[in-house]
Every structure is written in structure tokens, then in C-alpha cells.
Homo-oligomer: A and B are copies of this chain.
Amino acid sequence: MTKQSPLELKEPVKLRPDRAAMFKALGEPTRLRIFEFLRSCCCPVSVDDSGDIRPASGPTVGEVCCRITGGERITSTISEHLKELRIAGLITVERRGKNMVCGVNEDAVSSLGKYLLDNSSDSSNNNCCGDKDQLNETE
């Protein structure tokens, strides 16, 4: 009934994307397949005047659907998976003419990769289970 704001089609991408959301986005098999397809595919990246990163060319939503589902039709399921990956900050989806073109946000991906690698076997932060004095967190 009530129309929703036509001004902003897309929900804002998390500027400080929380890692749980990124991991969660990758934690669903279909989304991971989409992500891997995008990585194998839409590699060239151009940097905008304003410094924004955008894919120079990448698959359209329709092409992603075709690859993932094997069918010809665009499905809302894939669209919604792309949305979750985009909101998490892992991919970009932007209009180019009639189509929406997908790309990988390489910065976000490599930052997530570094997070996993960085303090692997790093004992510096070893404030282990002894000091449980003040645990109250105010989030």
C-alpha cells in the first residue's frame, strides 16, 4: 500500500562493515558460489575521480543468475544474495544502462583476509583467562 521512498533504492553499505556480517555473507553456499564467480570473472577495476572503486566491467545480475542457477531467468533469490554481499561491503552492484553490473570490493576482501592471517600465532595479546576482573562490557 504505502510506497516506500523512491529516492534511495539501495540500503547503505556499511562503512565500517562488521566482520561478522562479512563472514555471514560468505557463509551461505550459494552466496559463496556467487562470490567466487565474481572473483573469477570481473577482475578489472577502475578508480573513480572521487576515489571510489568501481568495476570496469563485470557480469550483470542476469549473467550471475545464468551462471549460478543455470537458467535463463533472473531470480529474486540471486538478487537478494547479491544484496547481502553488497550490504556486507564485499561486492559492488551498480547500474550501467539497463543492467546492474557486479564487482568485487577487493579492499574489503583483502582486509578480511588479513584479519584472518594477521594475529595467527601472535602471542602478543596474551591477556588470558586469568584476569577476569572487570568483564562488564557496555556495548
User: CB within 8 Å of B: which residues of A?
Assistant: 18-29, 32, 39-45, 57-60, 62-63, 66-67, 70, 96-99, 104, 106, 109-110, 112-117, 119-123, 125-129, 132, 135-137, 139
Q: Collect the chain B residues with CB atoms within 8 Å of residue A21's CB.
A: 27
Residue of B nearest to A41 (CB): B128
Copies of this chain, complex-wide, total: 2
Q: Are A123 and B43 in contact (CB under 8 A)?
A: yes
Give Cα distance in the complex from A123 to B22, angstroms. 23
A122 touches B63 (CB 8 A): no
The answer to whether A40 and B114 have CB atoms under 8 Å apart is: no
Q: Which residues of B contact A128 (CB under 8 A)?
A: 41-43, 57-59
- Report B-chain residues with C-beta under 8 Å of the C-beta of A104: 120
Q: A62 touches which one: B70, B98, B135, B139 (CB < 8 A)?
A: B135
Bound form: Cα–Cα A58–B126 in Å: 11
